[in-house]
Amino acid sequence: MGNEARRSSYKQEYTFGMDYGTGDFKYGPISCGEKPEIIENRGYFPDRESIMYTTFENPREIIVGRDVPLYLQASDDLSTRLVYPMKNGVIGKNDLQAWSVVREISKYGIETFKPADSDFQGFYLVSSLSSVSPRYMYEKLFETYGEINREQKLIKAATVIQQPLAVAIAHKTTTCVVIESGHGNTQICPISRYPVRNAIVAINRGGGDSNALTAEILKDQGYGDLAREEAIVRKVKESIGLVPIDLEKAVASAKRNPKKFRARFKVPGTRVSIEFEDNSWTRFLIGEYVFNPNHELFQSYFSRGMGRPKDVKVGDTTFKGTLDFGDAVVEAVERCPIELQPHLYRQILLSGGNFSWKPPEQLKDVATDSANKMRILLRKKGVTNVKSLMTESPQFSVWRGCIIYGYAVPEDYEWSWDRMEGWNMLGD
């Protein structure tokens, strides 16, 4: 076997993927098969005075992985000691705590799978960032991997790819628009064998915003105490929220026949039960808000103090606050060459937990799912040749895309800051 073939064979064997999600860190080499390992994307900084810290001979400065719960103490100030670095997809350049968690969690992930093989020269590491991550995040990641390698030779080469590209790769679609919607924001990214970087549209609206609206609705119904518990608000949203085919018609139908749209959510492990009957029409506000927050029905919430999503600039990217998803897709596609546009509209991939809406069978005359909602929004803008679908296994799409990328891209394709692609050779 020639040198090139040998190197290619080695890379295909030792490809390693890492997806730094908002809540979870998905990691593992190609040998993991269909699913990666998953731990929470967080790190804990223990109190140096605590017994747990002083008990061990070599106490760790940062705890990550499955040991974190062992160190948590009731008296701790969790808001400062328990750090979720990727809460909004972007880490501040000078947020040393967050970057140290990223280093520790990356090292944890790679060390878990380090082979005992003496011929092991390090993994071909592929990690993934949001398509709107500023350049310094790529720089900091490479710097972090270099630091890990100085302690222990674990990485032969590293690269970072954009999450929408990873999703498209995992979905086996070379020409598409990926809409990635998570907790804090939404990215619309046209892909045509490469991400069309100048066409990316970012929206400052995600699952967290529909959580905020759900909390306001709960307060209006007299559940003010429950509205303060973020985990419960999210569960209520997921349980009773509905995406309307047409908001005004859906609300009118629910007001005419509230019993049909009645919903009940029982808080797990308690006797507390949240009832939606007379106000069952508000279920449609929760689903609509994700896609389009501009209807006048939302005005009363804004006027009573709920924050309206604002335009925000992060690095070179402006995140639009109230742009509806239909307008956002049209804006992104129309920045691409004209010949490409029909092909892009015909493959719109929805990815991310914010799109997991399933209408009950008996309400399918007024409620719908995310893929169909996108078709409806685009039809209103005059775009009719649309094929929209959810990605399979949205939880693992990005990791899978990383593995495929690492497996296939030649090892001599060097990193370029113009292309923002290629291998950064750390092992040499």
Partner 1 sequence: MQDAGTLSKNHSESNCLIFSGTGVLSAVRVLREEELSTRNSVLKAVLSSATLINRVNQVYLALPRLVSSTIESNIIEEYGIGLIVYDQKNVEEVVAPRYFQTASQHTIVASENEDSHRVLVEEIDTLRGRLRSLEEAVESLRSEVEYLRSWKPQAPREETVTSSSVSPRFEGAPSFLRDNPWIEVLSRRGREGERLVS
Residues that bind partner 1 (CB under 8 A): 5, 8-9, 12, 30-31, 33-34, 168-170, 172, 174, 192-194, 196-198, 245, 253, 256-257, 260, 336-337, 340, 342, 346, 364-366, 375-376, 379, 384-385, 400, 403-405, 407-410, 412-414, 419, 421-422
Helices (H) and strands (E) in the chain, counts: 17, 20
| DSSP label of 355 | G
Query: Which residues are CB-contacts of 403 (< 8 A; sequence separation ≥ 6)?
Result: 15, 17, 30, 126
Q: For the CB of residue 135, give the shortest distance to partner 1 in the complex, in Å.
A: 16
Q: For the CB of residue 147, give the shortest distance to partner 1 in the complex, in Å.
A: 27
Q: By C-beta, is 31 or 54 nearer to partner 1?
A: 31
Q: For the CB of residue 282, give the shortest distance to partner 1 in the complex, in Å.
A: 19
Q: By C-beta, is 102 or 374 nearer to partner 1?
A: 374
Q: By C-beta, is 82 or 349 nearer to partner 1?
A: 349
Q: For the CB of residue 167, give the shortest distance to partner 1 in the complex, in Å.
A: 11
Q: By C-beta, is 101 or 254 nearer to partner 1?
A: 254
What is the distance between the alpha carbons of residues 167 and 179, in angstroms, rounded to a whole number?
A: 10
Q: By C-beta, is 46 or 352 nearer to partner 1?
A: 352
Q: How far is CA 211 from CA 143, 215, 242, 289, in A?
A: 36, 6, 13, 10
Q: By C-beta, is 228 or 379 nearer to partner 1?
A: 379
Q: For the CB of residue 34, give the shortest distance to partner 1 in the complex, in Å.
A: 5
Q: By C-beta, is 307 or 342 nearer to partner 1?
A: 342
Beta strand residue intervals within 36-97, DSSP E: 37-40, 43-44, 63-64, 82-83
Q: What three-state secondary structure class fits 200? A: coil
Q: By C-beta, is 151 or 339 nearer to partner 1?
A: 339
Burial 13-46 (b: 16+ CB within 10 A, else e): bbbbbbbbbbebbbbbbbebeeebebbbbbbbbb
Q: What three-state secondary structure class fits 178? A: strand
Q: How many CB atoms lie within 10 A of CB 168?
A: 28
Q: For the CB of residue 19, give the shortest distance to partner 1 in the complex, in Å.
A: 14
What is the distance between the alpha carbons of residues 156 and 124, in angstroms, rounded to a whole number?
A: 6
Tokens of 321: 């606050």
User: If you count them, how many residues does the chain have?
Assistant: 428
Q: How far is CA 71 from CA 45, 61, 102, in A?
A: 9, 12, 19
The residues pairing with 64 across neighbouring beta strands, listed in sequence order, are 43
Q: How far is CA 307 from CA 210, 315, 321, 348, in A?
A: 11, 23, 11, 30
Q: For the CB of residue 132, give the shortest distance to partner 1 in the complex, in Å.
A: 16
Q: By C-beta, is 112 or 257 nearer to partner 1?
A: 257
Q: By C-beta, is 265 or 405 nearer to partner 1?
A: 405
What is the distance between the alpha carbons of residues 179 and 181, in angstroms, rounded to a whole number?
A: 6
Q: For the CB of residue 37, give the shortest distance to partner 1 in the complex, in Å.
A: 15
Q: For the CB of residue 366, give the shortest distance to partner 1 in the complex, in Å.
A: 6
Phi-psi region of 124 (alpha: psi -120 to 50; beta: other; left: phi over 0): beta
Q: For the CB of residue 406, give the shortest distance to partner 1 in the complex, in Å.
A: 9
